[in-house]
Amino acid sequence: MSQDLAVGDQAPEFSLPNEAGAAISLKSLKGTAVVLYFYPKDDTPGCTKEACDFRDSQQRLRKAGAVVLGISLDGAESHKKFIAKFDLPFSLLCDEDASASKAYGVYKQKNMYGKKYWGIERSTFVIDGLGVIKALFRKVKVDGHVDEVLAALKSS
């Protein structure tokens, strides 16, 4: 379990079901830049704003040659509702056993109101068509994040 991925590292391979139950793997996206964003929970304020920012920037991201994928610990039904409610134009992957979250080092112990629990630390990885990490953002602040991602795509 790698906690310290860095720019220039090979991105960990994953294969996860999307909201429709289809398996999506990093291998299957070879040749395409991938914006892989990990978020804590469907339909919560920060996660909704982040998803909608990616939705609203979809054309600019596509122009930069990238496909966007969101990953959370939620299941397919939750993802389906989230996608339908906010008209999200990209797949959300179900990491119910946290295997991808652990591989990318974003599954962390968190503390809310004195209660400790495990969950996803909001993080984004920009991965090039060869599967190499071009940029990574940890503890993401949602405001302005999509612009950071677009800048990283343009510089790679």
Is position 4 within any domain? Answer: no
Whether 58 is covered by a domain: the verdict is yes
Examine the residue annotation and report whether 47 is marked as an active-site residue of this protein.
yes
Tens digits of per-residue pLDDT, 44-88? Answer: 999 999 999 999 999 999 999 999 999 999 999 999 999 999 999
Of 24, 26, 36, 47, which one is the catalytic site residue?
A: 47
In a domain, 41, yes or no: yes
Tokens representing 61 are: 């991201």
Q: Look up residue 28 and give its DSSP letter.
A: G
Tens of pLDDT, residues 112-152 = 889 999 999 999 999 999 999 999 999 999 999 999 999 99
**14 within some domain:** no
Number of structural domains found in the chain: 1
One-character DSSP codes across 71-139:
EES--HHHHHHHHHHHT--SEEEE-TT-HHHHHTT-EEEEEETTEEEEEEPPEEEEE-TTSBEEEEE-S
Q: What domain range includes position 43?
A: 28-155
Is 106 part of any domain? yes
Phi-psi label, residue 139: left if phi above 0, alpha if psi -120 to 50, beta otherwise: left
Residues 74, 145: Cα–Cα separation, whole Å: 22
Could you tell me the pLDDT band of residue 156, with boundaries at 50, 70 and 90? Answer: low
pTM: 0.94
**Could you tell me the CATH number of the domain that includes residue 100?**
3.40.30.10
